[in-house]
Amino acid sequence: MGLRDEHTRRLSGQRMSGRWCGCIQALAVLAAVGLVAACGGGNHSAAAPAAGAAGTLAAAPGGSGCGQPATAGSVTYTLQSGGHTREVIVHVPANYSGKTKVPLVLNLHGSESTAQAQEVFSGMDATSDASGFIVAYPQALIPAAGGYDWNIPGVPMLGGQNPPANAANDVTFLTGLVRSLEARYCVSTSRVYATGMSGGGRMASQLACDASQTFAAVAPVAGLRFPGPCPAVRPVPVIAFHGTADAVDPFEGNGQAYWTYSVPQAAQRWAAKDACQAASPRAVHGNGYLLTEYDGCAANTAVELYAVGDEGHEWPGGPTMPSAITKELGPQSDAVNANALMWAFFEAHPLPAG
């Protein structure tokens, strides 16, 4: 969808209104020029640079991009995966030299959304520039309401329908994308991470299970799940964020077919998987949020859940959105800054040696 995922339908499965569809299309256009205040309201614009075309990203497993020149800013690549042409926006931080290995974060858009919309919606380019990591915004491939959906194995899409039988394998695409980016840029292979919003958060949860040797840690936003089965070959650090007033993917569960159990239950299941002291999590009450921390996990991993009070289906601490967006998705909150917190968590949890 245009800027927030899964906001095109209510839990009843109703289709979005013509007015909302038009607003989403307008936001997509405005995002390209860095202006997102035209669908009504908003205290300031959520700005993102227009991504320049960079051509084709070659499939080059095993290579290193260290020493190759790269211009700071956002560029768009196409690449081949499983016989499909895929797209990704790559943001290179301002201080990138191409000589020193830097971390890589995949930031996945939500259902019925796009890579370009997620770049604006999460505001992560600024964190990338400040902290010196590359952030990539891949795009899903299943067409849905003007955007795209991810093919999450065994999981229904928004509205309850199953992914098409011939849908691209997105786990294969995203792990292959990491290899291609490592061959193009000077990436630290032990510091590759995944985050995402809603459907993108559910996809990031899947990557923690299916690609635990590629992704050092994950940070689902409004989308934490514990996939079953979960064939992770090591304990995976997980940090998650979720608004308690989320009406799209409710904090207490009981939503659509892909969203049955609660977010705290998902965190508990990850804590059990990581062999944490799940019976006694630590609760930290902050101003507008509750942090639940599971300590004593295997291999120095951790599981953390930030429950953001009275926030809707939003990216905590993200750019201010127009009132047309918050009317559909619920209020925003600055009680926590998801980008800053997840980056600190990522820095503390590289992939173990060996």
pLDDT attached to residue 108? 98
- Is 102 in contact with 132 (CB distance < 8 Å)? yes
pLDDT of amino acid 95: 95
- Taking the C-alpha atoms of residue 37 and residue 195, their distance in angstroms, rounded to an integer, is 25
192-239, pLDDT tens digit by residue?
A: 999 999 999 999 999 999 999 999 999 999 999 999 999 999 999 999
Residue-level pLDDT at 150: 98
Give the CA distances from residue 334 to residues 39, 219, 266, 284, 291, in Å, rounded to whole numbers and listed in that order. 21, 18, 24, 17, 15
d(CA 314, CA 327): 11
What is the reported pLDDT for 14? 33
Please provide residue 263's backbone torsions phi and psi, each rounded to the nearest 5 degrees.
-65, -45
pLDDT at 280: 78
CB 104 within 8 A of CB 133: yes
- Give the pLDDT score at 53: 65
- With a pLDDT cut of 90, the percent of the chain lying above it is 79
Report d(CA 183, CA 238) in Å as an integer. Answer: 27
Q: Which of 223, 155, 297, 257 is nearest to 4 (CA)?
A: 223
Residues of the chain with pLDDT under 50: 1-45
pLDDT at 55: 85
